[in-house]
Amino acid sequence: MRSLEQINYIFQNTKMNQQLSIKQKKLQYEQLIEELRNDYQVVILNHFIQEYQTEEAKLYYEIIKAKIDLYFQKDDVY
């Protein structure tokens, strides 16, 4: 899972590197967003499985996963 420092570095590096085309930057951002989305889902799933260890945990996970997906989708517009 990426650390906050790694994420900040990637965003700053992408913004500062003017040689990249807009299309290349967009692809980098989309890749980072997808990786972040996956990282969050793993953390959330692990948390609920450890805390509840029931089918209820899966339901909570699906609800929060949907909210995370919605959050990231609103930022996916370029």
In this predicted structure, the answer to whether residue 75 has a pLDDT above a threshold of 60 is: no
pLDDT tens by residue, 30-50:
777 777 777 777 777 677 667
| pLDDT tier, 57 (very low <50, low <70, confident <90, very high otherwise) | low
* Res 10: pLDDT: 65
* Res 52: pLDDT: 62
| Domain ranges for the chain | 4-75
List Cβ neighbours of 10 (8 Å cut-off, separation of 6 or more). 28, 32
pLDDT tens by residue, 62-74:
777 787 777 777 6
List Cβ neighbours of 29 (8 Å cut-off, separation of 6 or more). 14, 78
